[in-house]
Amino acid sequence: MAGIYLHIPFCRQACNYCNFHFSTSLGLKEDMLAAIRTEAALQQHYLEAAPIRTVYFGGGTPSLLSVTELMRLWDTLEKHFPDQQLEEVTLEANPDDLSPAYLKELRQTPVSRLSIGIQSFQDNDLRYMNRAHNAGQAAYAVKAAQDAGFEEISIDLIYGTPTMSDKEWQHNIDQALSLQVPHISCYALTVEARTALAHAIAKGRSRQPEEGQTAAQFGQLMTRLREGGFDHYEISNFARPGHYARHNTNYWKGIPYLGLGPSAHSFNIRSRQWNVAHNAAYIKSLLTENKVPYEREELSAEDRHNEYLMTALRTMWGADLEHVEKAFGAGSRKRLEQESARYLERGWMELQQGHLVLSTSGKLLADRIASELFI
């Protein structure tokens, strides 16, 4: 099985923390969509005829596209990837795009799941992040999507912003629970280089997130959502049983996927490749030269071992010692058992039926622990 990701590199305005590839100018939109369709045709054999189980429209802001534009992309996928055994089709959306009329049209498409970029239910946080919507639109968008018949809805929230107290973060979590969405993704505010937020902090116009506050709010989050009946199935993702994000779960489980669009990544177990992160260059290469503009990295056994640890340890299933032995050799398993002993002793990790799983305290150190276990 496999998945397809489509990167739609357009946004209405720039969130100050975002370092994803996007443009706030829609002038190249028509050519961009034509280029993505061309790439799909050129890459139709990348997944080696594996059945397509999931499709994910990400970005950027895919909800800026009309339903007609989305369906033209969809028709291209059906033409070049005919073996579709679909379990999930996700569209990322901003609250201000989800009008009842748009949702009604969208409900008639193959899109079965919405991932709504709420980030906060409070206006001071949204202003700080330079989001295009307000708190009222945030809650309204979720209810409108439910009224339109969408049952699989995920919302994104951000914690650790200097504008948000622990009490206000608790309000955000409670508001999310009150909306009865089955999936919640939560991310710590991170100051990425070359973003507007990094520039504002460097100039003293904005406060730096505090590590202690971020850790405390992550703890609040884990406790409250567990009490609310959610499984913490990946570091940043919580879902009610049966509502895990299938597309993203396949990423963490090492299932192959094809990425279409500028800056999109693809993975086929043996190698990883990524498209140029430049709209004009991407369009020119595909529409003028009929060539996909990408770079490729062949993955060594060590690369695959390390990537498996990085992704597996982020999940509630953890790193499977039997899989490590089968995929990378008995020596790799022995080394991992020896190296992980100190984390088991500190209570940062647990051994559950042959799987190394991070504890609640270990989740705060997930990236550090994984990197220290790398070959």
Is residue 56 within 8 A of residue 3, CB to CB? The reply is: yes
β partners of residue 273:
266, 296
β partners of residue 234:
237, 315
Intrachain domains 2-252 and 301-372 with the same fold: no
Q: At what angle do helices 321-328 and 301-312 cross, to 10 degrees?
A: 170
372, two tokens: 């220290």
pLDDT per residue over 278-334, tens digit each?
A: 999 999 999 999 999 999 999 999 999 999 999 999 999 999 999 999 999 999 999
Q: Is the pLDDT assigned to residue 176 strictly greater than 90? A: yes
Alpha carbons 371 and 375: distance in angstroms, whole number: 9
Amino acid 326: pLDDT: 97
The per-residue pLDDT of the chain, averaged, comes to 96
Alpha carbons 117 and 64: distance in angstroms, whole number: 13
Fold adopted by 2-252: TIM Barrel (3.20.20)
| CA distances from residue 222 to 4, 96, 184, 226, 232 in whole angstroms, order as listed | 30, 28, 11, 6, 7
User: What residue spans define the domains of the chain?
Assistant: 2-252, 301-372
Which CATH number is correct for 301-372, 1.10.3470, 1.10.10, 1.10.287, 3.30.870?
1.10.10
Alpha carbons 23 and 26: distance in angstroms, whole number: 7
Q: Is the pLDDT assigned to residue 206 strictly greater than 90? A: no
Other Cβ atoms closer than 10 A to 135: 19
Amino acid 207: pLDDT: 87
pLDDT per residue over 91-103, tens digit each?
A: 999 999 999 999 9
Lateral strand order in the sheet of 349-352: 319-320, 355-358, 349-352
